[in-house]
Amino acid sequence: MPLRRSILLTLPFLARGGRAQELPARPIRIVVPFTTGGTTDILARILADQGQGEFGQPVIVESRPGAGGVTGTAQVAASAPDGTSLVIGTPGPIATLPALLPSMPFDPMRDLTPVMLIANVPNIAVVNPGLGINTVTGLIAAARARPGSIHFGSAGIGASTHLAGELFKLMAGVDMVHVPYRGSVPALTDVQGGQIQLMFENLPGAIELVRAGRLTALGVTSPARALAAPDIPTISEAGLPGYSVVSWFSLYAPGGTSPAVIQRLNTGFRRIMAQPAVRQRILDIGAEPADGTPEALGALAREETQRWGRVIREARITAQ
């Protein structure tokens, strides 16, 4: 009896210790691999705002821009796999840049571990109002009439804002010049200033500028109209049938993170995402909340890697 009683008294402490090992031991940091103010940064801060209540310790956001998202993503890939370092994963560093860069500092499939999908976001083709182009067909006509005269900006080589433009060029048969930036915000600034003419920006980053009349929207890149902008046609229906690009935003941990830690992070962030107020905040910025398992995110990343690899080869896109 004394031995049995001792074991029973010990079990709760062992159970608590097991749970504690599955949780991050220090504040959780979410690295945003692009400049502040863009869609990636906005989504990270929405999650971080609720992190303390869910995990019992601070969740902080760090901006680490550079190399189309590679700099910040590589930093997390090289971090200790204890659940305290996460990165917002986007199609660029996860699915497209491996096909563009001859020497990536990390292998997304080996050096990162999927946690969950956060949101799906259509891009939106926007131009400077002074350009005098108001439709997709007008853009195609202008690009065909003056090859190389239309310059489109992006958040960096291999980002969805870049590949959306490259796919448009390929499908429309036009010659436009890509201008990569270190994030969406400076690219949008130059579209407004007239230094470049066009951008296929993530909808949350551009919709308020469209509503304020500072940019002209030509169409959204998703196969169906965006929930946040039902009055804006899709590029497919507006003049380029079959065109479709959807950006996705996700959470990744370093490769080698234990399944127990990944499960704890997935469960915690899914609970945050399930909060009506959080979902509404994501909808309000023009994104569409997502959910799911680490396995589902891994499958999506593999599919996107194959799809964009084909586009990169067919369009003969290089990192130069």
Listing DSSP states for 87-144 in one string gives EEE-HIIIIIHHHH-SS-SS-HHHHEEEEEEEEEEEEEEEE-GGG---SHHHHHHHHH
Structural domains in the chain, CATH included, are 28-121+247-315 (3.40.190.150), 122-245 (3.40.190.10)
- How many CB atoms sit inside 10 A of residue 273's CB? 21
Tracing tokens 């601070």 back to the chain, one arrives at 58
22 Cβ contact list (under 8 Å, min separation 6): 258, 260, 261, 263, 264
Question: Average pLDDT for residues 177-201, to the nearest whole number?
Answer: 94
**Total length of the chain:** 320
In this prediction, residue 24 carries a pLDDT of: 55
3: confidence class by pLDDT, cuts 50, 70, 90 = very low
Residue 236 Cα distances to 110, 135, 169, 218, angstroms: 36, 12, 14, 11
Question: Average pLDDT for residues 105-127, to the nearest whole number?
Answer: 96
pLDDT digits (tens, 9 = 90+) for 20-49: 346 656 899 999 998 888 889 999 999 999
Q: Which of 55, 53, 59 is nearest to 86 (CA)?
A: 59
pLDDT digits (tens, 9 = 90+) for 56-106: 999 999 999 988 889 999 999 999 999 999 999 999 899 998 888 878 999
Q: Which of 27, 42, 40 is nearest to 87 (CA)?
A: 40
13: confidence class by pLDDT, cuts 50, 70, 90 = very low
In this prediction, residue 320 carries a pLDDT of: 63
pLDDT digits (tens, 9 = 90+) for 252-286: 999 999 999 999 999 999 999 999 999 999 998 88
Q: How far is the C-alpha of 132 from the C-alpha of 113, rounded, in Å? A: 46
In this prediction, residue 21 carries a pLDDT of: 42
In this prediction, residue 51 carries a pLDDT of: 93
Which SS3 state, helix, strand or coil, does residue 147 take? coil
Q: How far is the C-alpha of 318 from the C-alpha of 254, rounded, in Å? A: 28
